[in-house]
A = this chain, B = another copy of it.
Amino acid sequence: MPPFDVRFVRNLEQARPRPDRSSAPCVACAVRHLTVCAPLNPAELAEFSTIMKRRHFEPANAVFDEGDLAKHVFNVTSGVVKIYKLLPDGRRQVTGFLIAGDFLGLANEERYAYSAEAVTDARLCCFPRQKFEAMLDNFPAVERQMLMVASHELAAAQEQMLLLGRKTAKEKIASFLLRLSSRYRKRGLQDNPIHLPMSRNDIGDFLGLTTETVSRTFTQLKSSQMIRLLAGGLVELCDIDQLEDIAEGM
């Protein structure tokens, strides 16, 4: 048990978000082609950006909590954000690690169905939800893009269910490393020594394991020369073919 309630600290930090209205127009956005904003031309982008604020979150800073009124939707532009659900007794399931280009905040009811919290320093584009939805009426291409994004996420969610329900600890870790590497590659980030900024505990809560099992499994993969743990939270994937075989349960 930690000496004080972690969530309390988190909310303190949340109390001082940093709106960043500076300038930084979306035109220069490095990840736009990956986001829901992809289909917009410069003029449309300008219109869209009028309702948008950029915000910065420090590590362990909550973006929103499950049950909060869903007043905003977000795009991650840098850093890592985790989303998760809790059981009353504190058991936690991390349902995703979001990186640059990922969208979050889609809520079918008026409240968020999950919590979101920065893992690293993170920058998010922040749209008031009502204005965002109103905007969609004028930009059907964005709506279609959102449907595509949602459909991708649905496929990823099914993949994750397969992992959670049917894979062993070793298979889970191998799958996790490969998927992360592949997502980094798609965004043009370094994909072989990959950066793991999240704690073992977060990884465990994502894979349905405990911290200890995650740690032991890393050790195991390390001893069999499939990965190397480098300084700064970097992990080198040494034998990708074998990792892929393991990830698929072969």
Interface residues of chain A, those whose CB is within 8 Å of chain B, are 85, 87-89, 91-93, 95, 106-108, 113-114, 136, 140, 143-144, 146-148, 150-155, 157-162, 164-167, 205, 207-208, 248-250
CB-CB under 8 A from A159, the residues of chain B are: 85, 113
A-B contact pairs, 28 of them (CB 8 A): A85-B161, A87-B166, A87-B249, A88-B248, A88-B250, A89-B249, A89-B250, A91-B166, A92-B166, A93-B161, A93-B165, A106-B154, A108-B148, A108-B152, A108-B155, A140-B143, A143-B143, A143-B144, A150-B151, A150-B154, A153-B154, A154-B154, A157-B157, A161-B161, A161-B164, A164-B165, A165-B208, A166-B208
**Structural contact, B158 and A114, CB atoms closer than 8 A:** yes
Query: Distance (Å) between the CB of A103 and the closest chain B CB?
Result: 11
Question: With A143-B143, A249-B87 as given contacts, are A93 and B162 in contact (CB-CB < 8 Å)?
Answer: yes
B-side contacts of A250, CB under 8 Å: 88-89
In the complex, how many angstroms separate the beta carbon of A32 from the nearest chain B beta carbon?
19
Q: A243 to nearest B CB, angstroms?
A: 15
Q: Please, which residue of chain B has its CB at the minimum distance from the CB of A164?
A: B164
- Chain B residue nearest in CB terms to A86: B162
Beyond A108-B152, A140-B143, 18 additional pairs, beta carbon < 8 A: A85-B161, A93-B158, A93-B162, A93-B166, A95-B162, A106-B151, A106-B154, A136-B144, A146-B147, A147-B147, A150-B151, A150-B154, A153-B154, A154-B154, A164-B164, A164-B208, A165-B205, A165-B208
| CA distance in complex: A164, B154 (Å) | 16
CB of A212 to closest CB in B, whole Å: 16
Cα of A114 to Cα of B161 in the assembled complex, Å: 12
Distance A178 CA – B143 CA, assembled complex (angstroms): 33
A85 & B162 in contact (Cβ 8 Å cutoff): yes
Expressed in whole angstroms, the Cα–Cα distance for A155 and B153 within the complex equals 11
